[in-house]
């Protein structure tokens, strides 16, 4: 799924305001590198790394990031790195609930803040030969999101079927 553009300008501004000068950002599930494009258009002082599970995507966006780690975020233990901001844009719905909860729990130990972009009740199978595009949590609603992922604050809900949340790290 390509991420919705609704609310994206607002979220990019929010991310830029909440990331310090010369800060570090991790884009999880980078796909086409859109977050890097949008953020770098406003901030040229940040370091942006990415994690991308689908090798063909990673190969196409190498030039957009300072570092790209190819693999599943669940397996990527970024102990050597601290990020001021982590972006989970259209990522959690592709994971089992327990896996997504573990990924977020670990992220809270490695960041000041993170942003989640999440679609609600969106069924999707594999796309473009990428099995990782399948939505496993296609039952998400705002209420179910709050039950499964307590402690997150809504930033903006630009459309009925999509929202951005954040949570401070430790």
* 161 located within any domain: yes
Q: What is the reported pLDDT for 28? A: 95
Q: Does residue 95 fall inside a structural domain?
A: yes
Buried b (16+ CB within 10 A) or exposed e, 65-84: beebbeebbeebebeeeebb
Domain count of the chain? Answer: 1
| 65 contact partners, CB below 8 Å, separation of at least 6 | 27, 30, 33, 36, 48, 49, 50
37 with 53: CB under 8 angstroms?
no
Joined together, the tokens standing for residue 110 give 């490695």
**Average pLDDT across the chain, whole number:** 89
Q: Is residue 25 part of a domain?
A: yes
Listed residue (163, 58, 54) closest to 118, CA to CA: 163
Report the length, in residues, of the chain.
Answer: 170
State pLDDT tens for residues 93-117.
Answer: 989 999 999 999 999 988 999 999 9
């Amino acid at each position: 799924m390509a991420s919705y553009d609704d609310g994206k300008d607002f979220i990019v501004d929010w991310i830029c305001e909440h990331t310090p000068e010369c800060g570090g950002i991790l884009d999880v599930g980078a796909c086409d590198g859109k977050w890097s494009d949008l953020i770098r258009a406003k901030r040229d002082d940040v370091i942006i790394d990415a994690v991308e599970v689908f090798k063909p995507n990673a190969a196409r966006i190498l030039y957009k990031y300072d570092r790209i780690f190819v693999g599943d975020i669940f397996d990527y233990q970024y102990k050597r790195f601290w990020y001021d901001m982590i972006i989970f844009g259209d990522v959690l719905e592709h994971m089992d609930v327990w896996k997504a909860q573990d990924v977020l729990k670990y992220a809270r130990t490695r960041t000041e803040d993170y942003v989640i972009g999440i679609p609600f009740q969106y069924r999707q199978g594999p796309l473009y030969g990428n099995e990782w595009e399948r939505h496993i949590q296609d039952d998400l609603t705002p209420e179910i999101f709050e039950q499964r992922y307590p402690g997150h604050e809504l930033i903006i809900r630009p459309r009925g079927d999509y929202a951005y949340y954040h949570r401070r790290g430790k």
